[in-house]
Amino acid sequence: MHLAVVGPFGFVVIDKPAGLTSHSCVSRLRRCFGLKRVGHGGTLDPAVTGVLPIALGAATRLLPYLPGDKTYRGSIQLGRTTNSDDLEGEVLTNQSWPALSANDLEAALHTFRGPIQQRPPQVSAVHVDGVRAHERARRGEHMHLPPRPVTIHRLEMQGWDPNNGRLDLEVHCSAGTYIRSLARDLGEQIGCGGCLASLRRIQALGFQIEQASPLPEWPDESDATSQRLPPVLPPQQALKHLAAHEASDTDRENWRCGRRLHIANGLGSVGETLMVVHHSGQMLGLGLIEADSQLRPKVVFDARG
């Protein structure tokens, strides 16, 4: 796949505010940067805040190669269940929560650490017979959503308010994990029900909350550059989990023409993806390691011809 690099090229990390969809954030940045090709990684529900990585220009082609793990901080409300598994939904049950010690809560949390099977919320983007579950749920339908394998890499209790039944957690999890489902299932495990009260994402696709910038305002109709735009991070910052081949000037010209490169032994195994970066720091693309230390182009930026 050969791609010309025109205009801004890289990633913007937004601290998404509550009340906006991920798509609306993309639309605003498309207007602010004057670009057509803009895409986001890791959708956030409107009520959720935090890290939303947004790719600009040709960097959208790198989104599938970013690490999928994410980290959240959130609060769970025990004693309440809703049809959406968060406080935004219709209340299904209300009951008191038991007296719980830190040891009781740790025992309940331990059940969810590591690889688990998790059933998505009724209000989710999962497709059911070609229609997203949340669309069918809004029509009043109740669906059987089969559980899916996910991994909770880290699950830590950050605080417990026994008077209000609020449990604060930090969760590091694999792609596809629903924190709303975790809240629901934890409440069920404890025996009183539970739902998600609030959620903030502090890491996604390799980007941290410390790198995030506020979402800019809509630009003035007469001057799209009338405000300070968030910084554009080099694309290789999102791919630190991949090994890199440092390309010489000759390598760069061969790469731009779509030719295979010879790479040093030990950079990876056959079938792995490798970054190609010019010694000046310019991101050239991604390649697939083949036998005999050959690197076949997969994504080529600034291609010739």
At 255, list the tokens: 């790469």
Do 268 and 274 contact (CB within 8 A), yes or no? yes
Alpha carbon 258 to chain centroid distance?
Answer: 31
Q: Is 233 exposed, middle or buried (0-12, 13-18, 19+ CB in 10 A)?
A: middle
- In 3D space, the residue among 210, 204, 33, 193 whose CA is nearest the CA of residue 98 turns out to be 193
Compute the distance between CA of residue 40 and CA of residue 52 in angstroms, rounded to an integer. Answer: 7
SS3 label, residue 83 = coil
Q: Which positions ≥6 away from 188 have C-beta within 8 Å?
A: 194
Q: Is 85 a catalytic residue?
A: no
Alpha carbon 233 to chain centroid distance?
Answer: 17
Catalytic residue among 45, 69, 86, 251: 45
Residues with catalytic function = 45
